Amino acid sequence: MPCPHRLVHSGNKKSHPVMLPPLLSTPSRHAPLERVVAWALAVLLTACAPTPERRGAPAAEWLPSPNFNERRPTYVVLHHTSNDTVERALRTLTDPVREVSAHYVIARDGKVFQLVDERYRAWHAGRSQWGSDFDLNSSSIGIELDNSGDEPYPQAQIDSLVRLLADIQARYRIPAPNFLGHADVSPGRKVDPSAWFPWRLLARYGFGLWCDPPFAPAPASFDPMLGLATLGYDTRNAAAAIHAYKLRFAPNDPGPILTQDDSERLYCLLARRAEALP
């Protein structure tokens, strides 16, 4: 019996089975029963297998090559949803009119939702830059945390995040410096995951950089703005870059000026970055 989805319809509405190529040789009538059953099952599965779809020029002859890779993310960008419930955030992130999404959403109770296949480009970072990368949507996995931006993150939520990041890091070998916040890659435009986010804790697990005082003195020739750019920040708007840096690494001192402590911390972070990156 042909598979239902392998039927084609002619003009008189009668259904006819699609003729499939003989991929398997027919066993002889003297073959053992087990082989006959296995052959019949293989033929049935072949007939019922869905035809793979492809994206490309319709007029081109499809001659598939095995020499390709799927998208391989090299960054993780963390966000907060700015919503009061995860249900509202999920509605926003799955609304085709809003045109925003993320690969994952983590609720306050730690439940993890996946919205976009990791192989695909979610729309979470928007206009963004980190170092020489000007399109973080194409190179990152986006994770939204159900949080208003004005509240601490529950332990259950952070525990789930750590487990998810460990899984992602193991599969893609993403180095510690490449775990970022939305504010890092969009300074002046975004502030998430906010000053409440426990970056120091995540760095202990290998997700992001961190330096605790006391810091070693930076050389007299050290240029902190050049240091921010080397770390990855877009420094074309110096005030925005400084604010994003301090929001993450010195949230208790949100002033617009880089202090000596800020410069020494930055020098330490650059040393940690050099150790972590290949």
Task: Note the pLDDT of residue 49.
Answer: 46
The reported pTM is 0.79
pLDDT-based confidence at residue 260 (cuts at 50, 70, 90): very high
CA–CA gap between residue 231 and residue 224 (Å, rounded)? 10
> In angstroms, rounded to a whole number, what is the distance separating the alpha carbons of residues 199 and 209?
8
Residues near 94 by beta carbon (within 8 Å), at least 6 away in sequence: 101, 115
Could you give the percent of the chain with pLDDT greater than 90? 73
Stretch 56-81: mean pLDDT, rounded? 85
What does the alpha-carbon distance between residue 63 and residue 151 come to, in Å, rounded to a whole number?
54
- For domain 75-276, the CATH superfamily is Peptidoglycan recognition protein-like (3.40.80.10)
Q: Domain map of the chain by residue range?
A: 75-276
Is 87 annotated as catalytic? no
The band of 48, judged by pLDDT with boundaries at 50, 70 and 90, is: low
Give the CA distances from residue 244 to residues 126, 129, 141, 184, 251, in Å, rounded to whole numbers and listed in that order. 16, 13, 20, 6, 9
User: Measuring CA to CA, which residue among 252, 232, 261, 255 is closest to residue 242?
Assistant: 255
- For the chain, give the mean pLDDT: 86
**3-state DSSP assignment of residue 105:** strand
% of the chain at pLDDT higher than 70:
81
Tens digit of each residue's pLDDT (9 = 90 or more) over 151-191: 999 999 999 999 999 999 999 999 999 999 999 999 999 99
Please say whether the beta carbons of 75 and 140 come within 8 A: yes
Catalytic residue of the set 53, 61, 118, 144? 144
d(CA 115, CA 128): 21
